[in-house]
Structure 1
């Protein structure tokens, strides 16, 4: 059966990793119900291949399909039913980031969708300030440096997206963010001393929010597993098995959802956090480096 326009839009705004997790959860519930995929399909009035496509995340899922399968599996828990509908892309309005689809790669839209639906994020950053904590000036300077081929309107749009993402820290309930930052993040001069001074002041203010925990890995900590690259672990409400790891690359992001990989990244993050400075000492270091940038002379017009 061909996909309708609505189905294609739903499939586009639901990251593949979430479709796979939805399928895995539906398969688990089918197993608990003691049914084969053929028996489930027969009771739903479908062909067995449809159940297979849903369980492997290869097919978009309508709200009615999710409800029907949950009825077949005798799942009555309202929280579970609501969560699975949300994973399928229903229960919420179309994401605001869809309006920026002309400048946002699919991988970035998937990342924002995961970030928006998560209840907790654990972030390891080795090079730059996490997007959720960037100031507009820092975000603008970084975007220009990383993508010098973009025009002003595209740069402005990407900065707008970066700032709009930060609303998750102030929604009800807010996203809980635990970030481990390599000291290089604080000392890498993006946009000049004035921009960095403002960015570090903003970081210090963010560190005071109850939903934000910042830890700095000082250079004195030596080599650590985090130097191999940045990553984020997203956790979602009510079902702990839905954690997703996102790895950043130059032109895209890679989502990792194998249980053993997630366990390994979670353990690595815990080790990094333990090696990092406590929150209070991290805040003091951030403030101290920010003061260093504040005392640096501003560039003269001739230098500009």
Structure 2
């Protein structure tokens, strides 16, 4: 799926309703609201940096239907224009890759007091990995994904083509 910091509200609602252990409508609403609140960090006076590599499959899966996906992909392109955001697509044609077992997020804090962390989302919650060996391994995997993925410029064109197909 598209990473939470880049999701539209409608896409986030569809993903949350489909992937989270059964929840009430109020619980889904709260989860979506929290996701939207976290996204404010991308637009704050001191925005966080974000580098995301998405599988082509995530961009082609019609989460919420074609209209929701069209809006989601358009939003992805808009956010990719921000100077502190980099978006790349890993095309299916790239074949096997080191992240085929599932998505992950490397959180880098650049402060001695705040060590880096790897976050792995699961259907029932999330796992945080803090050991240096785990972080080093995931950082290596992410480096390889960036090499295999389309450049940010080619990604914009590629996503534009997917939008046209919708």
Q: Give the structure-1-normalised TM-score.
A: 0.53
Residue 223 of structure 1 corresponds to 96
CA displacement at 1:274 relative to structure 2: 0.7
CA–CA distance in structure 2, aligned partners of residues 241 and 155 of structure 1: 31
Partner deviation per Cα, 1:156-182 (whole Å, 9 max, x = no partner): 111111111101111232110000101
Correspondence 1:257 to 2:141: no
Residue 89 of structure 1 corresponds to none
Match of 2:46 among 167, 173, 178: 173
Residue 143 of structure 2 corresponds to 270
Unaligned segments of structure 2, at least 5 residues: none
Match of 1:191 among 64, 68, 86: 64
CA displacement at 1:131 relative to structure 2: 0.5
Q: Secondary structure at the match of 1:230?
A: coil
Distance 1:173 1:199, change over 3 A: same
Q: CA RMSD in A?
A: 1.5
After superposition, residues 35-50 of structure 1 pair within 5 angstroms as none
Correspondence 1:208 to 2:87: no
CA displacement at 1:151 relative to structure 2: 2.2
* Bigger radius of gyration: 1
Partner deviation per Cα, 1:62-107 (whole Å, 9 max, x = no partner): xxxxxxxxxxxxxxxxxxxxxxxxxxxxxxxxxxxxxxxxxxxxxx
Unaligned segments of structure 1, at least 5 residues: 1-127, 294-304
Distance 1:239 1:148, change over 3 A: closer
Distance 1:143 1:238, change over 3 A: closer
Greater helix share, 1 or 2? 1
Distance 1:268 1:148, change over 3 A: closer
What stretches of structure 1 move > 3 A for 4+ residues in a row?
none
Greater strand share, 1 or 2? 2
Correspondence 1:131 to 2:4: yes
Q: Give the structure-2-normalised TM-score.
A: 0.94
